[in-house]
Structure 1
């Protein structure tokens, strides 16, 4: 069955019938006289994979900090789950602790080593359990960071350009791994990236942030692995939104795509 693929400007509210795991309404963040986030509405459904694109200074980092619970939002209409985890571009491993100790950092209990081993096996690093972080490759370090995030079984997984420093082959393998882990654990995911092709390959929905507002939204209904025919046209349109003007409160058809997942 054919389904329309649309660009929706001005909001980021999914059509899901279940309660969102993330909910922001009219969210504002100012630093002095500078407004970084300006009246932003955002919903992320349980298990949804969302990619966030935006130029430098668009407010991506500020929004990520909000969703990670790093900034005070007590006076605003913000709902984020207590169970959340972040994977950054830099794996941020403690070099004086072994790999398994980094995975369960801050966790308590007699079974933490077993939990670390299980998580590392899942990301293909069971053989590196007792290694020192400085002996890991870049890809191995990011796999460890993913294990550290997912061992906590978060309802919200935030990925802050975690593949940007990796070579092309390793990056492709990490894409496959993240999708596998997402399907297995089913957290809601927000991926912040500058890579339009990466967003198209991974996400159910793509948001474009500009001037502290969501100015465009893509819903991709074509199954992953079957999106090659969409990539060129979507890339051009998304790059246009990242670098060009936008119309407020307009709905622009994107053509058609085959429904699937």
Structure 2
């Protein structure tokens, strides 16, 4: 968790984002959404489907510049999408190295592959790996360049419970060791309560910030009873966002 008063690693302030499709009514996707992510902090962005979370990610990653507001710190981000987005004709090692600047593609990645349990798969191709292992490769690609903040878009969706738990633990251990920050978009409230230092609750469209909830209990001390009580409290305060 970041130190109090420390300058955020990532700052997002989206005053307004509109979509103006031809021959259709304009749609405001985001309005007044502002937040920061501190050094070493894991922050989860939670909201209903269609609320504008993906739009927000596209803006902070520089994929959509047609908005009013500002973003700073995103140039130091690594991104892991829902889909691993691996090149099937490239080996695992080549897929990871392609995420590096050309001048750094020969750097030693032995430690990274070992940390993520990928050493034995370096010469394999994506089709030989399960979805969970492919997501490890996508994580390795994002981490290889040493980002200050890791941006995760539903990284554990479609995995069985065991694979999701294993990958969550791997992500948390990796970023904690590196002192890295995380911004994760998820629909899974239980997942967010398990790993986040802070929850950002986003309203239905147009997306606005309606809750900034710190989770002060250490992750290792978050038992099932505490997690269920925390979820129940959030659901009572924000029933449109979090189901009981």
| TM value normalised by structure 1 | 0.82
1:192 to 175, 185, 189: 185
CA separation in 2, counterparts of 1:163 and 1:214? Answer: 24
Q: CA RMSD in A?
A: 2.2
CA 1:152–1:62 in 2, change beyond 3 Å: closer, same or farther?
same
Task: Check if 1:37 corresponds to 2:25.
Answer: no
Deviation at 1:106, TM superposition (A): 4.6
| 1:237 maps to 2:219 | no
Distance 1:74 1:63 in 2: 10
In structure 1, runs of 5+ residues without a counterpart are: 1-13, 247-261
Q: Which has the higher contact order (CA 8 A, sep 6+)?
A: 1
- Residue 20 (structure 1) aligned with residue 8 (structure 2): yes
* SS of 2:28 mapped into structure 1: strand
TM-score by length of 2: 0.87
Query: Structure 2 regions of 5+ residues with no counterpart?
Result: 21-25
Q: Do the aligned partners of 2:76 and 2:149 also contact (CA within 8 Å) in 1? A: yes
Indicate whether 1:68 and 2:31 are aligned.
no
1:133 maps to 2:126: yes
State the distance in 2 between where 1:115 and 1:97 align.
Answer: 18
Count residues in correspondence. 233
Q: Do 2:78 and 2:150's aligned partners in 1 also have CA atoms closer than 8 Å?
A: yes
Change (3 A) 1:60 1:110: closer
Cα drift, residue 167 of structure 1: 0.8
CA contact (8 A) 1:216 1:241 kept: no
Note the 1:68-107 alignment, pairs <5 A: 68-72=61-65, 76-107=69-100
Runs (4 or more) in structure 1 with deviation over 6 Å come to none
Question: Is the partner of 1:225 in helix, strand or coil?
Answer: helix
Q: Which residue of 2 aligns with 1:225?
A: 220
